[in-house]
Amino acid sequence: MNSSFYNGISGVKTHQFGMDVWANNISNISTYGFRGSTPEFSSLFSATLMGSYFDPTSNDKGLGAQSQTTGLNLQQGILEHTDRAFDLAIQGEGWFAVQGQDNEIFYTRAGAFSIDANGNLVDGNGCYLQATLGNNVTPTTLDQATLDKFGQYYTPTTSRPVEAYAISLLGDVPLGTVGNQNKITLPDYLYFPPEATQNVSYGANLNPTINIGPIQIALNALDCPSTVSASALNTIDISGTIANTPEILNPQTGDVVIITITDSTGAKRSISTALDASQNWSISDYDVSNLDLSSPLQVSAKLQTEQEIANVAHYTTGIIGPDGDKDIIDMTFTKHIPQPTSGSEWDANVKILSFYENYTVQQYDPTQTYDPALYDVNVAYSTVKKIYDPALYYVNTSNNKVYEIVDTQTGVVTFGGAGQLLTNTIPALSNGGTPLTLNLGEPNSYTGLISSTTLEKSNVATSDGYVEGFLSAYGMDGYGNVIAEFSNGRSSAIAKVALYHFQNDQGLTQTTSTYFTPSSNSGNPIFYANANGESFLGSKIVSTKLEGSNVSMATALTELIIMQKAFDASAKSITTSDQLIQNAINMKK
């Protein structure tokens, strides 16, 4: 009877332990990252009443129960959606690691992280999330104009410039070793330096259609005398030919030759004559008495005829300069005339243009003195225009802007009879010291430029390079990388959040509701590695989600009922044993 009494007591204690475990599970059912536990029991020991070698069954009597251990529930919890980038959940096995203020490392499934006042990624207890750093963020010195875009910290009495950092582009951070993990520090002022364009690809259709129209062609110096002197009667005689002007393709008898005569003061007179059948022309006894005849007169001539006019195609596309400015690559293609029997050839002139200043026409001020080498003054129209060296500057009067010519290259582009690109001799350009390659398509292909009257091709431009960027947000990608996003549309990885694994997760020691530490039973933390020895996460880290408790309310309440009934039954065995003992004592009376 004594053993049944003590068996009942051990049962009460054991099931009280079970009640405590399941009550703890229920109390943490809303705790993110909580791992439920299952109480496990065992018999204390048993005594053999009487044994015999020939007994077919055991003859033992149990002497109570005890709480043996709590089994850790490692099932996946439900992932709950949030709107915070650093709310992280693990899909699969593994543990986050956080470092406490005393440098102790804890392992947890609770992934509610945020950025503290110092820019560190921490959990709700202020412990630092551990990760492999990309080591691509460094302090930088920026010019004042760039710093002004960041702003400044202000106090009532002082102003302190921001502390800026620069980042280099990194697509993915390789996971390091277990012992090489650190806290993540995210600067508030992160700068993405510009990168000059190095490659431009362009596609378009250079229309080879033959265009016939009126054109004026300046005669070669061999076809027209450059000067003439007047006779005593103040008249001149001039004659010439067109034989040495190769630009004239199909001259006709009667085509008009326009002769311009200019004196030393700049006064001009023009006279026309007709081309004869021998392709010669002349004027005689032309009165020039109204010109300054103190020095020889300057003579130039041009032929007005009808022939094929060279097709001209002009394209522009944006590029990025070394300083991050948005520059322009300007392409002009001029068709050769006459064309080969099959296909076409085009002269290419390519410039890199960088904005210099706005183009303005000033009002003429008679009280001012204008340097004729710098300004073009038109008193009649009361205008003053600044003169720009065409070798150094390009003036676009359509948008009233002046561009500095950074570099100019020329070449020839040839096409086959079917419109396919054959050759491109345009050399690389210098984009402010950075080599720039202009890709107009592969030879014998239609991937870039074509020249066809039957094929259609849209103007398509692609280029690399990017302008400067300023930090706009931090986030996560699908590979565990902490990502910095910038105002120029670029993004870069900064660190990779580490996931730790153990040989025996059940052997971890629970220190708080969601913190665990290794033990001799769990083994040391490890990273998974592939055949090449490269570490990888082993599970997916999901952003804007938190893993809820993996405790099942239905299971917990059911187990609670079982524990309650078992507790009641054990208590009943105590009272029953007590009654039996009382009856035995009363038998003596």
398-408 residue pLDDT tens: 999 999 999 99
**Rounded to two decimals, what is the model's pTM?**
0.70
- Whether 416 and 273 share a structural domain: no
Q: What is the DSSP letter of 332?
A: E
188 and 102 in a common domain:
yes
Domain boundary among 279, 309, 339: 309
Can you tell me which residue has the tokens 């059911």?
558
- Judge if 174 and 292 occupy the same domain: no
| Rounded CA separation 315/313 (Å) | 7
pLDDT interval class at 341 (50, 70, 90): confident
- Residue 45: the pLDDT is 52
Write down which residue in 276, 309, 342 finishes a domain.
309
- Residue bearing the bigger pLDDT, 161 or 322: 322
pLDDT at residue 56 tops 70: no
Residue 384 pLDDT more than 60?
Answer: yes
Domain's final residue, options 290, 309, 328: 309
Range of the structural domain that residue 272 is part of: 212-309
Same domain, 186 and 86: yes
**In terms of domains, do 15 and 161 share one?**
no
- What mean pLDDT is predicted for residues 329-342? 91
Q: pLDDT tens digits, residue range 450-501?
A: 999 999 899 999 999 999 999 999 999 999 999 999 999 999 999 999 999 9
Is the Cβ–Cβ distance between 121 and 129 less than 8 Å?
A: yes
Which CATH number does the domain housing residue 262 bear? 2.60.40
Give the C-alpha separation, 496 to 180, whole Å: 12
Given a cut of 90, whether residue 23 has pLDDT beyond it is: no
335 in the same domain as 435:
yes
What is residue 288's DSSP assignment? -
Same domain as 557, residue 511? no
112 and 159, same structural domain? yes
Task: Decide if 242 contacts 219 (C-beta within 8 A).
Answer: yes
Whether 316 and 459 map to the same domain: the answer is yes
Cis previous bond, 443, omega within 30: no
pLDDT band at 240 (very low <50, low <70, confident <90, very high): very high
Is beta strand 65-72 parallel, antiparallel or unpaired with respect to 96-99? unpaired
The reported pLDDT for the residue numbered 571 is: 66
Q: 480 and 509, same structural domain?
A: yes
Mean pLDDT for 98-127 is: 95
563: pLDDT strictly greater than 80: no
Q: How far is CA 52 from CA 42, 60, 275, 307, in A?
A: 26, 12, 143, 129
Residues 458 and 341 occupy one common structural domain: yes
Say how many domains are in the chain: 4
531-556 mean pLDDT: 89
> What digits encode the pLDDT tens for the residues 24-53?
888 888 888 888 877 776 665 544 455 555
Per-residue pLDDT, 237: 93
Question: Where is 145: in which H helix or E strand?
Answer: helix 144-150
Same domain, 344 and 291: no
Cis peptide before 338 (omega within 30 of 0): yes
Q: What does the pLDDT average to over 295-318?
A: 94
* pLDDT at position 374 over 80: yes
Query: With bands split at pLDDT 50, 70 and 90, how would you rate the model's confidence at 232?
Result: confident
What are the C-alpha distances in Å from 91 to residues 171, 331, 376? Answer: 22, 53, 74
The predicted structure's pLDDT at residue 220? 95
* Single-letter code of the amino acid located at 457: K
Tens digits of residue pLDDT in 139-196: 998 888 887 777 665 555 656 567 889 999 999 999 999 999 999 999 988 999 999 9
Mean pLDDT, the chain, rounded, equals: 88
